[in-house]
Structure 1
Amino acid sequence: MQDYDLVVVGSANADLVVGVERRPGAGQTVLGSDLAVHPGGKGANQAVAAARLGARTALLARIGDDAHGRMLLDVQRRAGVDTAGVLVGGAPTGVALIVVDPSGDNSIVVSPGANARLGPGDVRAAGAMLRAARVVSLQLEIPLESVAETVRTAAAVDTRVVLNPSPPAPLPDDVLAACDPLVVNEHEAKALLAGDPASDDDSPEAWAEALLARGPRSVVVTLGAAGALVARADGGAGTVTVPSPAVRAVDTTGAGDAFTGALAWRLGAGDDLETAVRFAVRVGAAAVKRTGAQQSFPTLDELEDR
């Protein structure tokens, strides 16, 4: 019995956001807006994005026993996420420091806090939850050994694995081999391909082909306002570019997580990869039209009204 459409294993942060006229360079100081505090973290973002769309979603994460942690728990529960797997204690809740310019582009620094204490033992203890999922979605804001333990647990029961390697880091072969898909943006693709001639190429098709050669079953390259590119290793015909709806971006924070959460849900619901990506680009486009991360994510009714 698969009790969850999606289990997300990853980070939960408080996002501390300041608007700026321009993002500072090295050694520069700029004045910004009043500080805004929002729920965030790539894992928590993906869980909320999927749950708001109607997915049966659970989150495995670790937060601190503090005000930021209590805020995160409350937001997850109000979105409909099962928080039985959210562990409390070990360190303060993780924090992301975010500056957003008038175009909606952002720069982010993350202090992992409790996220860095989500260990392989926590993953093993949550084995029943992981085995009850159609899809498991991961990122790299938690320890890599915990990501690998999650992948091994999922692979043992043929649960589909969606991985966004952010922040990018070298991945073990068995982790790469389980990814279906590996979801990357331009920066993540080039970081993973460092030393490969494809990293100097400006072609998303070249990045996808080179990444597929590393072992994942499929690759999705997100292209911002241009949509996303889909490539499969199973003999599919080349790559497919899925355009994004044209929208005026207010804040891109969390848009990639909204995309990935939506993608993972639709794969768990039985969509083929291209169909799931076509849905996910609509969700990502809707998310940039409002400020913040989780509070900008659309419900299914809102998406259908757009």
Structure 2
Amino acid sequence: MDKPKVTVIGSINMDLLTSVSRLPNQGETMVGDTFEMKPGGKGANQAVAASRLGAQVAMIGKVGNDALGKDLLKHLANENIDTSSIEIDQELSTGIANIILYEKDNRIMIIPGANNAVTEDYVNKWRREILDSDIVIMQMEIPVQTIIWCADLCGENNIPFILNPAPAMKLPSDVFDKALYITPNEEEGNCLFGDNNETYRDKLITTIGSKGALYNNKVINTYPSEVVDTTGAGDTFNGALAFFIASNTPIEDAIYKANIAASLAIEHLGAQHGMPSIQQVEERLTEIRMGQ
């Protein structure tokens, strides 16, 4: 079978990870435990997740003309991602995410940098990639107007897309109407839809942490993992979900397998490091079946 074509339109960041034994008080300086730099950005994370599972992935985004940007371009190419639609911005720096790891959870602050230059006009240069896709994924770490434009393009051309509304921002309702699926976490879902989530009942796939995901008023479970770092769990889920949907997997099975992929990812430090191959997902599924 041909590899499904997944196009990701979104952010490319370098993650700056600091692990601490406790959070500092206001005005306090304290010594952290470890520091690492790892590739990240919701868009790039989702692209890597889909590629490792076996998708043919194209990434549309921007990096800065700096060492971080060059490292990230090389990394994405090494992950078998088509980087021909990633350009180097000559004015803005590469996006970064400051991540504090504390008690196996994270707090994140993003500086978008070149991600802010992923405009409608820029994405329009690569519309052929979008129109040739089996499925498109978008997140909210690029300008909102770009998301709206991309939703219109996909809607007009019957290209299915997944909208991961993270971070949560208000959007015109027709963007949600055009999406194949919308994948917030619980907090994002409450912010965007509140008590009106029944309006998008058949589109909403809400990730609910260690409990798995909620779809059509049904909880689809995940696997209890030995958590090391939850950074990138949602991105792994979204990239995997896109891959399985584009592979014609029934939706509840696709959600379950995406949960399993995320359960493997959080057993490692960093957003992308533990993202699994399709073989690793199948092995875990076998372990689950054997244990039942």
Equivalent pair of 1:140/1:167 in contact (CA under 8 Å): yes
Q: Distance in 2 between matches of 1:32 and 1:177?
A: 45
| 1:204 alignment counterpart | none
Q: Distance in 1 between matches of 2:178 and 2:24?
A: 39
Q: Distance in 1 between matches of 2:277 and 2:261?
A: 9
Q: Distance in 2 between matches of 1:51 and 1:268?
A: 12
Which ranges in structure 2 are unaligned for 5 or more consecutive residues?
Answer: 285-292
| 1:235 alignment counterpart | none
Q: Distance in 2 between matches of 1:63 and 1:73?
A: 8
| 2:192 alignment counterpart | 192
Q: 1:149-169: CA deviations, max 9, x gaps?
A: 111111122111101111100
TM-score (norm 1): 0.88
| 2:180 alignment counterpart | 180
3-state DSSP of counterpart to 1:257: helix
Partner AA of 2:174 in structure 1: D
Alignment counterpart, residue 228 of structure 1, candidates 213, 216, 231? 213
Q: Distance in 2 between matches of 1:212 and 1:61?
A: 33
Q: 1:171-229: CA deviations, max 9, x gaps?
A: 11221111221101111112213xx4x3xxxxxxxxxxx2242x585100101111101
Q: What pairs with 1:1-306 in structure 2 (closer than 5 Å)?
A: 5-24=5-24, 26-89=26-89, 90-101=91-102, 103-193=103-193, 196=194, 198=195, 210-213=196-199, 215=200, 218-231=203-216, 239-306=217-284
CA RMSD after TM alignment: 1.7
3-state DSSP of counterpart to 1:17: strand
Q: Distance in 2 between matches of 1:178 and 1:3?
A: 25
Q: Distance in 1 between matches of 2:172 and 2:25?
A: 34
| 1:203 alignment counterpart | none
Partner AA of 2:85 in structure 1: G
What is the Cα deviation at residue 59 of structure 1? 0.5
Equivalent pair of 1:177/1:216 in contact (CA under 8 Å): no
What is the Cα deviation at residue 305 of structure 1? 2.8
Structure 1 residues 228 and 245: CA distance shift in structure 2, 3 A = same
Of 17-26 and 92-101, the range deviating more from structure 2: 17-26
Q: 1:27-46: CA deviations, max 9, x gaps?
A: 55443123200000000000
3-state DSSP of counterpart to 1:266: helix
Equivalent pair of 1:94/1:113 in contact (CA under 8 Å): yes
Structure 1 residues 156 and 268: CA distance shift in structure 2, 3 A = same
Equivalent pair of 1:180/1:216 in contact (CA under 8 Å): no
| 2:290 alignment counterpart | none
Equivalent pair of 2:3/2:55 in contact (CA under 8 Å): no
Equivalent pair of 1:53/1:262 in contact (CA under 8 Å): yes
- What percentage of aligned pairs have identical amino acids? 33
Q: 1:122-158: CA deviations, max 9, x gaps?
A: 1111110000001110000000011111111111221
- Report the count of equivalent residues: 282
Partner AA of 2:125 in structure 1: A
Equivalent pair of 2:138/2:147 in contact (CA under 8 Å): yes
Equivalent pair of 1:14/1:39 in contact (CA under 8 Å): yes
Partner AA of 1:40 in structure 2: G
Structure 1 residues 153 and 33: CA distance shift in structure 2, 3 A = same
Q: Distance in 2 between matches of 1:28 and 1:221?
A: 37
Partner AA of 1:79 in structure 2: E
Q: Distance in 2 between matches of 1:217 and 1:171?
A: 19
What is the Cα deviation at residue 26 of structure 1? 4.9
